[in-house]
Chain A
Amino acid sequence: MVVAIALLTILLLPLLLSDFRLKLVGRFLSLAILALGIDLIWGYTGLLSLGHGIFFALGGYALAMHLNLQLPDGQIPEFFSLYGVQDLPWFWQPFYSMPFTFVAIWVIPMVTAGLLGYLVFRNRIRGVYFSILTQAMLVVFFNFFNGQQKLINGTNGLKTDTATVMGVLMGSDGAQMALFILTVVILALAYGLCRWLTGGRFGRLLIAIRDDESRTRFLGYNPTSFKTFVFAVSGALAGIAGALYTVQSGIVSPQYMEIAFSIEMVIWVAVGGRGTLIGAIIGALMVNLARSFLSEQFPEVWLFFQGILFLGVVTVLPQGIVGWLRSEAGSQMRSLLGRPQRVSTYSSLETDPEVQYEHENLSH
């Protein structure tokens, strides 16, 4: 099924769309990989990260550094001379190597995410606290990358489309076509990975952690390690997405770590339907298509639209499109079959202060 859709996308879309549009769709597909990562931690594990721009940008920078080093021997990237830097900073050195870069694209974000996650999770910081800490991390990384002209060209970021790899210009149509196909393939693989993670024992446990974390402790599980792991995986997916996005848009810059962009990622998942993998992909594609359409036509409306989207999805459609379709379809089926609607028993328990008390009591 997944393979079929992927094949269809690869074969059909290039015929249907202009080069410009195809590039756009390619970018959105790489954002869908990112959305999968967000869904994994938010939809399944209940961790709302507002800092995924970090991992996205780290992946992008890793690849961009490699591409910027495709130079004759002895030269260093041009921008360094602007700031009077003579020698390549030490941490650029390993990026000469292509295998290293391909590993770094996902390992660096993964390790960063794992480390930051571990430091936060081990103190049982969660919920809104976790979210605003991730946002603060994002600001920190943004400031760091923005401020370090001498190390990574600061605000201007790194260009990739003028680089030549094995005689092929990255910005050329051929290279972009190859990248499009690569993106589709990786998206399919990422989908498969997430399916595997969320099915089976591990997936059940993620849901258990989402719904009642401290209870899992008394079952003998250590939620800290599970959360750290899944946050790291999510970071790795974001890193891959960032690398693919970077080469398809031709530049990586600290703008990828804007606060707004990282929160927007969450809304893609919310629109599509969190806790459903396909929803994350659909949401990412839909919101971004709407964005490119609206901001082409009426630039100032886009922010209003986005704001309303946030409000609307959260209040009216908390399950997202896919979730709504599933639950609606379910109840439609039941009413067609003449079965009564499901009613949860003992609804008074949900409002029972005792229950609430114990919930709060145990969550500290």
Chain B
Amino acid sequence: MSLFASSLFDGISIGAVLLMSALGLSIVFGLMGVINLAHGEMMMLGAYTTYVVQNGAKALGGGLWLNLYIFPALVLAFVVAALVGLFLERNIIRLLYGRPLETLLATWGVSLILRQFVRSVSWGFVAGLVIFAVLFWGGRWVLQRFRPGGLGRMHQGAIALITLLSIGISVTAGYGLTGLGETSFWGKLWFSARNVDVTPPGWLQGGLSLGTVTLPYARLFIISLMVVCLVGIYWFLQRSPWGLRIRAVTQNRQMSACLGIPTDRVDALAFALGSGLAGVAGCAVTLLGSVGPNLGSNYIVDAFMVVVVGGVGQLLGSIVAAMGIGITSYLIGSGTLGFVLSNMGASFLQPVIDILDFFATSSMAKVMIFALIIGFLQIRPAGLFPQQGRSVDV
């Protein structure tokens, strides 16, 4: 039974991570009808931020810093992911408003770029990026400043020229600098493609013993983090003026716009918030395992399923779905369920146990969970807590 309890606990902590990343997805989807395929990469960025902060703490001499780095890391993970999310929303998603399928593809492009970015980022690379940004936006600024709009067709050509030139120069510069070699300042990769490890602070190692069950502190921390996030989000959505605006736009965008709610800022805010939450989730994940460029993709599909099962924009639905998926997949995947059942010694359960054994790896558990989800959707296509009546439409 203690095995069951500790597996259940592990499952809850997995569900907590899922929930933190799914909350953002769910809010954004409810608001804008957009699924962000780069959401997992926001988690990844949060995780790498944690890694950087930890290294900073080491450089500062360890000790107290190494014990407390997780808190500034959480904040920074949120901020970094939120800023990237904001940038994304302002520059890409906004252009594709009302075309959710195209947004899906565009965010996948972003996801590819971000993943490759952490693999190949180095000072030389950053220098190239900075050069590009300066040339591109500087060039456009100059164009605007001195030829105010009067160029007509030429204008487009000029922009294209600037774009091409800035790409050319920055790529050359970046290549030149990184070409100095792996050991040089400019060429040394920050993270490289290999996974890196984050050591949890000392006080998160070990666990809390309750009789025969040991609850790892790291997982307890994740669960309490989730509770904090949840309470924060609930408070924000229900009690703050911007939360009210988000809910208003979710229900009726046109009407809200007519009432003077700046829907574009609401979108940007919600998107940044959702990304930030993913960043926090990423920070939490570092306590469970190593950090790599593909970290996000391990969680993201499950997070999507949480949104599908929980229903759109439903806090309670997301909680139930995340916990359900997290716990079930862990219990089945670790083989605990089969083990517990076979210990009960009831022979008529044997076929069930055989089936459970067949699915008793973490990847096979996904197969079973998905089958369950498809089955579930046959009964409740709109998720656990569908909104009722015409209120959905109005």
Enumerate chain A interface residues (CB-CB to B < 8 A): 42, 46, 48, 50, 119-120, 123-125, 127-129, 131-133, 135-137, 139-140, 143-144, 146-147, 259-260, 263, 266-267, 270, 300, 303-304, 306-311, 313-315, 318, 353, 356-357, 360-361, 364
- Which residue from chain A places its CB closest to the CB of B258 in the assembled complex? A353
Interface of A is mostly: helix
Contacts of B34 in A (CB 8 A): 128
- Which residue from chain B places its CB closest to the CB of A144 in the assembled complex? B367
Contacts of B304 in A (CB 8 A): 132, 135-136
Contact with A along B354-394 (1 / 0, CB 8 A): 00000001011011001101100110010000000010111
Contacts of B361 in A (CB 8 A): 147
Known: A300-B120, A307-B109, A311-B110. 4 other contacts (CB 8 A): A132-B304, A132-B305, A260-B112, A311-B92
* CB pairs A–B below 8 angstroms (6 shown): A263-B37, A270-B105, A310-B112, A314-B105, A318-B102, A353-B258
- Which residue from chain B places its CB closest to the CB of A310 in the assembled complex? B109
Q: Is the CB of A361 within 8 A of B120?
A: no
- Which residue from chain B places its CB closest to the CB of A315 in the assembled complex? B95
Q: State in angstroms the CA–CA spacing of A303 and B394 once bound together.
A: 43
Contacts of A146 in B (CB 8 A): 363
Which residues B248-304 have CB closer than 8 A to chain A? 254-255, 258, 297, 301, 304
Q: Is the CB of A304 within 8 A of B104?
A: no
Contacts of B96 in A (CB 8 A): 314-315
Which residues B103-143 have CB closer than 8 A to chain A? 103-106, 108-113, 115-116, 119-120
Contacts of B109 in A (CB 8 A): 306-311, 314
Beyond A128-B29, A128-B34, A310-B112, whether A140 also contacts B378 by CB under 8 A is no
Q: Is the CB of A140 within 8 A of B308?
A: no
Minimum CB–CB distance for B129 against chain A, Å: 11
Partner of B308, one of A46, A129, A318: A129
Contacts of A260 in B (CB 8 A): 112
Minimum CB–CB distance for A318 against chain B, Å: 7
B177 at the interface (CB under 8 A from A): no
Contacts of A137 in B (CB 8 A): 370
Q: Is the CB of A119 within 8 A of B378?
A: yes
Enumerate chain B interface residues (CB-CB to A < 8 A): 29, 33-35, 37, 92, 95-96, 99-106, 108-113, 115-116, 119-120, 254-255, 258, 297, 301, 304-305, 307-308, 361, 363-364, 366-367, 370-371, 373-374, 377-378, 381, 390, 392-394
Q: Is the CB of B381 within 8 A of A128?
A: no
Minimum CB–CB distance for A42 against chain B, Å: 8
Beyond A128-B34, A314-B96, A315-B92, whether A357 also contacts B393 by CB under 8 A is yes
Minimum CB–CB distance for A209 against chain B, Å: 15
Beyond A127-B100, A131-B35, whether A140 also contacts B367 by CB under 8 A is yes
A-B CB proximity, top 5 nearest: A310-B109, A123-B381, A307-B113, A143-B363, A307-B112
Q: State in angstroms the CA–CA spacing of A147 and B360 once bound together.
A: 11
Contacts of B254 in A (CB 8 A): 353, 356-357
Q: Is the CB of B115 within 8 A of A310?
A: no
Partner of B378, one of A123, A128, A303: A123
Contacts of A356 in B (CB 8 A): 254
Contacts of B105 in A (CB 8 A): 263, 266-267, 270, 310, 313-314
Q: Is the CB of A127 within 8 A of B393?
A: no
Q: State in angstroms the CA–CA spacing of A131 and B107 once bound together.
A: 13
Beyond A132-B35, A304-B113, A315-B92, whether A48 also contacts B104 by CB under 8 A is yes
Partner of A147, one of B95, B102, B363, B392: B363
Q: Is the CB of B366 within 8 A of A140?
A: yes
Q: Is the CB of A314 within 8 A of B363?
A: no
Beyond A127-B101, A128-B29, A131-B101, whether A364 also contacts B392 by CB under 8 A is yes
Q: State in angstroms the CA–CA spacing of A64 and B116 once bound together.
A: 33
Q: Is the CB of B308 within 8 A of A132?
A: yes
Contacts of B33 in A (CB 8 A): 127-128
Contacts of A315 in B (CB 8 A): 92, 95-96, 106
Contacts of B392 in A (CB 8 A): 364
Q: Is the CB of B101 within 8 A of A306?
A: no
Q: Is the CB of A139 within 8 A of B119?
A: no
Contacts of B100 in A (CB 8 A): 127-128
Q: State in angstroms the CA–CA spacing of A127 and B29 once bound together.
A: 12
Contacts of A144 in B (CB 8 A): 363-364, 367
